[in-house]
Amino acid sequence: MRTFEATIEQWKEEAERIVRPRFEEIDAIVEHNQWKVIEAFRSCKVSDFHFNPSTGYAYNDRGREVLDELYAVVFGAEAALVRPHFASGTHTISTALFGVLRPGDELLYMTGTPYDTLHKVIGKTGDGTGSLADFGIGYREASLTPDGEVDWDEVARQITPNTKVIGIQRSRGYAWRLPFTVQQIGDMTRKVKELCPNAIVFVDNCYGEFTEKLEPTEVGVDLMAGSLIKNPGGGLAETGGYICGRKDLVELAAYRLTAPGIGAEVGAMLGTTRGIYQGLYMAPTIVGQAVKGSIFAAAMFELAGFASSPAWNAPRTDLIQAVVFERPEQLIAFVQGIQLAAAVDSHVVPEPWDMPGYENPVIMAAGTFIQGGSLELSADAPIREPYIGYMQGGLTYSHVKYGVLNALQNLFDRNLL
């Protein structure tokens, strides 16, 4: 078995000691959410036959219909649309936005610049890609304050009579800021509705699900979207996304996913249904493993002398652990070290490349069972200053620990520590 440098081993002992009380908090959240999910399965009377594959139009696929109900119950929403037909988180968010926005409307992001892949969804007037802008849908954003808080004066300035959707991104994406907790999102929603009573508050919930006891749709958010190859897929869903929230808005999103008039009533699930159900069942516990892994990583990188966010003792509302490196070689060694620790493709060395939808070269460690699945241990970084590596996921806490130790050892081996 792999052994690590004595100093790294010492940091490990120390990190495990200091994070122990945090793990009790995480266990309480896991138990709450695990029971919440089981009770939702019970109230929806989930049965073995719901897992059967469907084909063709798949009219009256009970498994698909009950899955939508189940997500709605778990997320405290009126309705949900859970489909393997969403190709990614970006596709899911894009479907929600196109579903509810109309020419002349404006989208306002109140949490600063959204996640990189959404820039092309927002687009530019006349770009010819069918972006929101190409359809005459305007875009504004209110930057966050330098310490990552909502700038309310700026939000008020950016609201116009055309503001239709107000976007909140819960997780940090590739920005150096803390994620917004569910309580903060609830407060933001209440306050922004005072300024703009008819706006639809939309939350990009990627990486947030089950990290807290409540979800944004339980604190007043109108519409929310996320990816099934992140938290709620539990590592078992093979592909897909979910949209949930107000019934009328979810229906509009469904019209956009399939076709107006058809909506959620068609869509063959093929063989994906069981994995999506079982993944949701597993998700609270697996997310707990990943959160513990992030807390351990925060403590380890702090002991190793790197700035890391959130701190090991800070509240958690997503899976992302950001670590700041001084030089690009350290960043690359970190990501490659995480890949070295993978169960799948550990022999592959990731290199920076121009990924579709991203504006800088990105390096990704994704030695995962589900391609790009980031509830599994993974790390990524755009190669740009400041050199921040983002790690997330891990289906077992022990695997994250192994990943962090390998990453630090890789830095040590290259004289970068």
Ligand X SMILES: *Cc1c(COP(=O)(O)O)cnc(C)c1O
| Residue placing its CB nearer to ligand X in the complex, 88 or 258 | 88
- Tell me which amino acid residue 7 is: T
Task: Note whether 133 and 123 are within 8 A (CB).
Answer: yes
Task: Note whether 408 and 8 are within 8 A (CB).
Answer: yes
User: What gap in Å lies between CA 311 and CA 313, rounded to an integer?
Assistant: 5
- Applying CB under 6 A, among 206, 224, 286, 408 the residue interacting with ligand X is 206
- Binding flag, residue 117, ligand X (CB under 6 A): yes
Nearest approach in angstroms of CB 374 to ligand X is: 7
Choose the stretch contacting ligand X; rule: CB under 6 A; options: 120-128, 203-211, 266-274, 379-387. Answer: 203-211
Task: Note whether 413 and 357 are within 8 A (CB).
Answer: no
- Binding flag, residue 94, ligand X (CB under 6 A): no
- Binding flag, residue 89, ligand X (CB under 6 A): yes
- Binding flag, residue 243, ligand X (CB under 6 A): no
| Residue placing its CB nearer to ligand X in the complex, 33 or 169 | 169
Nearest C-alpha neighbor of 219 from the set 194, 242, 245, 196: 245
Q: Which residue is nearest to ligand X (CB)?
A: 89
Token output for 298: 């925060």
Nearest approach in angstroms of CB 206 to ligand X is: 3
Token output for 85: 């037909």
* DSSP line for 286-309: HHHHHHHHHHHHHHHHHHTT--EE
- Applying CB under 6 A, among 54, 95, 181, 227 the residue interacting with ligand X is 227
- Binding flag, residue 321, ligand X (CB under 6 A): no
Q: What are phi and psi of 223, to 5 degrees?
A: -150, 145
Choose the stretch contacting ligand X; rule: CB under 6 A; options: 50-58, 83-91, 243-251, 394-402. Answer: 83-91
Choose the stretch contacting ligand X; rule: CB under 6 A; options: 32-40, 88-96, 284-292, 305-313. Answer: 88-96
- Binding flag, residue 169, ligand X (CB under 6 A): yes
Choose the stretch contacting ligand X; rule: CB under 6 A; options: 94-102, 146-154, 159-167, 169-177. Answer: 169-177
Choose the stretch contacting ligand X; rule: CB under 6 A; options: 65-73, 201-209, 277-285, 375-383. Answer: 201-209
Q: What angle do CA 352, 131, 145 make, to 5 degrees?
A: 70
Choose the stretch contacting ligand X; rule: CB under 6 A; options: 1-9, 82-90, 190-198, 330-338. Answer: 82-90
In the chain the first and final C-alpha atoms are separated, in Å, by 23
Nearest approach in angstroms of CB 323 to ligand X is: 17
* Edge-to-edge order in the sheet of strand 387-392: 308-309, 321-325, 387-392, 378-382, 362-365
Q: Which residues contact 243 (CB under 8 A, 6 or more apart)?
A: 80, 81, 92, 95, 96, 99, 223, 224, 225, 250, 253
- Applying CB under 6 A, among 204, 209, 215, 380 the residue interacting with ligand X is 204
- Binding flag, residue 139, ligand X (CB under 6 A): no
Helix, strand, coil % over all residues of the chain, rounded to 5: 45, 15, 45
Token output for 65: 């219909």
- Binding flag, residue 171, ligand X (CB under 6 A): yes
- Applying CB under 6 A, among 98, 115, 390, 397 the residue interacting with ligand X is 115
- Applying CB under 6 A, among 33, 54, 90, 410 the residue interacting with ligand X is 90
| Residue placing its CB nearer to ligand X in the complex, 117 or 317 | 117
Summarize as ranges the residues that interact with ligand X (CB under 6 A). 88-90, 115, 117, 169, 171, 173, 204, 206-207, 227
